[in-house]
Structure 1
Amino acid sequence: MRIEDYPPQEPFSEVGKRYHDEAMRLGAGIVGEDHRYGEDPYQGVALYRPAKPNGRVLAFLHGGGWTNGYKEWMAFMAPAFTAAGYLFASIGYRLAPQHVFPAGVDDAAAGFAWVWRESGGKPIFIGGHSAGGHYASLLAVTRDWQGRLGIAGDAIRGCLPISGVYDFAAGSGLAMRPRFLGTGDTERAASPIHRIDGRPRPFFMAHGERDFPHLIRQAEAMEAALKAAGAEVSRIVLPGRDHFTASYAGGEPDGPWVPAAIDWMNKQP
C-alpha cells in the first residue's frame, strides 16, 4: 500500500521524520503482498515470501510511539529473513489518539492470527520494535486473546522485541503518559511486565547500548520477571546503537541482531 493512500496520522516529530525517511529509503524497491485483516486501512499485513521456505515465520510490528507508523516501514527487514528461508510478515495496526488501548493490541492479535492461519496454523514467531515490541510482548505473555480469535494457545513460538516498552505503571521511567493509554486506568493492563500469565513463551530481547535509559532498565526488569516465571530468555545489547539505529539492525544480514535472532529462532523447537 502506498503511504499517501493512508488516512492522516499524527505529525511526525523531528526524530520520527528522520526515522520514517530512513526506513523508507532502506526498504525502497522491496515489495510484498498486501493483505487485509480488517476494514480500516491500517489493519493490513505485508507478506514477504522466501524463494526456499523452511516453514518458519516471523511476524513483526512497527514502532512509532503508538501514534505513527506503517507496516511498510519494516520492508527493509524482509530480505535478510527471506534469504534464510523465513516467511516475513509486517503487521499494521490502528493508531492513537483516534484509537486507544486496547484497540492497537487487539489489531496486533488479529493480524497475528491472520498470519498464523495463512502460514498453516503452526506456531510462529512474533517481534516488534519499540511500540511494536510492546504489543508483541503483551501478546506473548497473556492468554486471554487466543480463544476469542480461534487460534491455538501455543500459536506464538517465541517473541523477539527490539527496544520494547514493558511497563507503564508508577516507576516506569516514562516522562509522560502515552496517549494510546486513553483516559482510563489502563497502565497495568497495558504493561507486559504486570500481565505475565503462567510460563511465557521464549523471549529473545534486544536493545541499543545507547537506547533510552528507562527502556534499558525496563528490559532488565522484564528479563528478570520472565525468568522468574520460568521463561527461556536471552537478551543482547546492540553495540553503539540508539533507539532508532537498533531498529535498522533488523535489516542487516551481517549486523549485530539478524544472525543472532535467526540462530536463536532456528534452535527453538
Structure 2
Amino acid sequence: MPEGLRFIHETLMRMADGIGGHEHRYGDDPSQSLIVYPAARPNGPVLLFLHGGGWTNGYKEEMAFLAPPFNAAGVTLVSAGYRLAPRHVFPSNFNDVADAVAMAWRLAEVHGHNRDALFVGGHSAGGHLASLLATRDDWQAPRGLPGNVIRGCLPISGSYDFTPGAGSSVRPRFLGPPGLFNEVAASPIFQLSDRAAPFLIAHGSDDLPHLKVQSEKFALVARAKGVPVEALEVDGVNHATILLTAADPDKPWLAAAVAWMRTRLDGH
C-alpha cells in the first residue's frame, strides 16, 4: 500500500474503531462482502457506500465511521467491498458492486430496511463505481432487480472519464490491457442516458484538478440529457480530507446528503 493510502487507511480504521455491523458475503473472495449498519428505525434511506483506494487498495471496514451520523439521521448504511486490481481487472469490480446492490436489496427481508429507498455512493474509486451503477441499465435485470433500484447516486471526488485527454497522468491498472473499449465502457460519462439515476456530485475545493474538471463536465452532460444533478464543492478540503470530514456535521456534505436523499424519496 502506498504511504499516502496507508495514512488514510490507518486514520479511517481509528475512526471506525468500535463501530459494529452485520457482515454478509455475496461471493467467494474475501472482498466480496458487505456490512450493514441499520438505523434504529430502518424505514428511511439506505446508502450503499463504496470505499476508495485507486481500485487497488481499500476495505469496506474503513467506511464504518460514516455509520453513526447516518444512523442518527435515520439512514441505514451499507459498506461494500469489491475485488481489487491488478489481480482483478474491469469489469470484475463493477460486477461485484452490482452483486452487492442485489444483496443489499434482498437483505431488506433480514434487516427490515426499505429496499425501495436504495442509494449508492462512494469516494474516489468508489465514487466512480457508484456512478457507473447509476448510469448503466444493463445489470439490473440479470440480477432480478427492478430497473429503478437505484434512487440516486452520491459520488465524492469520483472519476467519470478514462479516455485519453481526460486528465489522468497514468492509466489506472484496473482497466487491464491497453484498449479504448474498456476506457469507454468504464467511463460513466459515456454511459449516460435519460434513464440514469439522479446525482449529488461532490468534490473538494482543493481536489485533484482533473477530477474537478471531470465532475463539472459530467454534471453538464447529465443535465443536457435530462438527468437531475446537484453539485457541491466542499471548501477547504482536498481529495483525501473530503472523505475524512464526510461525517463532520460542521462540513456541508453530510447534511446535504441526508437532505438530498430524503427529497428524492419525497418525489421532488
Q: 1:85-138: per-residue Cα shift (whole Å, max 9, x none)?
A: 111000100000000000001101000111012125424100000000000000
Q: Distance in 2 between matches of 1:225 and 1:199?
A: 13
Q: Which residue of 1 aligns with 2:165?
A: 171
Aligned amino acid, residue 47 of structure 2: L
Structure 2: distance between partners of 1:220 and 1:56: 26
Corresponding residue for 1:6?
none
2:253 to 254, 257, 269: 257
Corresponding position: 1:44 with 2:40: no
Q: How far, CA to CA, are the matches of 1:85 and 1:74 in structure 2?
A: 17
Structure 1 residue 150 corresponds to structure 2 residue 144: yes
TM-score by length of 1: 0.93
Select 2:176's aligned residue among 176, 182, 199.
182
Q: Could you report, residue by residue, the CA deviation over 1:208-238 in whole angstroms, capped at 9, with x for unpaired residues? A: 1100000000000000011011011100101
Partners of 2:242 and 2:55 in 1: CA distance: 18
How far 1:184 moved relative to its partner? 4.6
Letter in 1 for 2:241: T
Aligned partner of 1:22 in structure 2 is 11
Counterpart residue number, 1:237: 233
Give, as a single letter, the amino acid of the residue that structure 2 aligns with 1:138: L
The answer to whether 1:215 aligns with 2:178 is: no
Structure 2 counterpart of 1:134, which letter?
A: H
SS of residue matched to 1:73: helix
Q: TM-score, normalised by structure 2?
A: 0.94
Q: How much identity, in percent, do the aligned residues show? A: 50
Correspondence 1:128-143 to 2 at 5 A: 128-143=122-137
Task: Judge which range, 249-258 or 211-220, deviates more.
Answer: 249-258
AA aligned to 1:144 is D
Q: Return 5+ residue gaps in structure 2 as ranges.
A: 109-113
Deviation per CA, 1:19-50: give whole Å up to 9, x if none: 00111111111111111111110000011011
Contact preservation (8 Å) 1:203, 1:232: yes
The runs of at least 4 aligned residues of structure 1 exceeding 2 Å deviation read: 52-55
Q: C-alpha offsets along residues 153-203 of structure 1, whole Å, 9 cap, x if unaligned? A: 000000000000000001110001000000052101100001113332110
Name the counterpart of 1:160.
Answer: 154
Of the three residues 191, 194, 203, the one matched with 1:195 is 191
Partner secondary structure for residue 187 of structure 1: helix
Aligned partners of 1:123 and 1:154 also within 8 Å: no
Higher helix proportion: 2
Which whole-Å CA distance do the structure 1 matches of 2:64 and 2:7 have between them?
A: 17
SS in 2 for 1:188: helix
Match of 2:59 among 54, 57, 70: 70
Name 2:111's counterpart in structure 1: none
Q: How many residues are matched?
A: 258
Q: 8 Å contact 2:44–2:117 — kept in the other structure? A: no
**Number of the residue aligned with 1:115:** 104
After the TM superposition, which of the residue ranges 117-126 and 183-192 deviates more from structure 2?
A: 117-126
